[in-house]
Copies of this chain bind each other. A is one copy, B any other.
Amino acid sequence: MFNFVLEFNNSIMELNEKQMQILEVAEKLFAENGFDGTSVRQISKEADVNVAMISYYFGSKEKMLDALINYRMADFKIQLESILSNDKNYSEKIEEIVAFVVARIHKNRRTHKIVNFEYSKDSRNINIEKYLQQKDDNYRVIEAFVKKGQKEGVFSKEVNIPLIVPTIMGTYFHFYYNKRFYTALHKLTDEISLDEFVNTTLTKHIQQTIKALLIYAN
């Protein structure tokens, strides 16, 4: 019996297996139908638990969303730094960073989608500290890397560093949100070939883009 210990709301929240099972179902349904488009009865039915368990375990539907986001972002330790500390050249390092980021957001795409949609709402009062912290951490690592490359004369100094990550993640998500259109364009069919497409073609495109931008921008 292994529980998932989670720092949350300045206190520690332990998630047992049943809670995690509920969150998995909630993640799927929120990503498919939106937060407001998903009822707690749907979640409880699909997770095979009583409706009251959601309030019992998480307090409310909204607090369950908080728990989900923090649960998914909790293990976002900066593996970037280990990539940047190896002895590859700058071009190879860019490729590794992009491949890592794309694989990561693809794996957590459902929660990212929920955050993207709910985050900008005035009405929603979600606790996205962990998400913002991770975003900031990632940015600082990228910033240091690019500035180092600029100092060594490998990277162009004309690049807008804060907008590099939006280009990486934005390309992925715009593809993902419009996958029905783009998979038709690429003649892809099932979910497996989507994974493959992301890991090969899409990743390669973003790698090319960022390499060209960092090296040749003017």
Contacts and interface: CB of A to CB of B under 8 A. Distances in A.
A186 B208 contact: no
Contacts of A180: 119-120
Given A36-B37, A166-B182, A120 B171 contact: no
Question: What is the count of identical protomers in the complex?
Answer: 2
Contacts of A172: 170
Nearest to A181: B135
A36 to B, nearest CB: 4
A216 B218 contact: no
A185 B171 contact: no
A111 B23 CA distance: 30
Interface string A152-178: 000000111011001101111111011
Interface stretch (A10-18, A58-66, A92-100, A198-206): A198-206
A116 B186 CA distance: 20
Contacts of A122: 32-33
B175 A163 contact: yes
Contacts of A185: 139, 162
A49 interface: no
B217 A208 contact: yes
A125 interface: no
Contacts of A171: 163, 166-167, 170-171
A173 B175 contact: no
A159 B36 CA distance: 40
A189 interface: no
Given A132-B181, A170-B172, A174-B174, 4 more contacts: A163-B175, A163-B202, A167-B206, A173-B173
Interface of A: 32-37, 116-117, 119-124, 132, 135-136, 139, 158-160, 162-163, 166-167, 169-175, 177-182, 185-186, 201-202, 204-206, 208-209, 211-213, 215-218
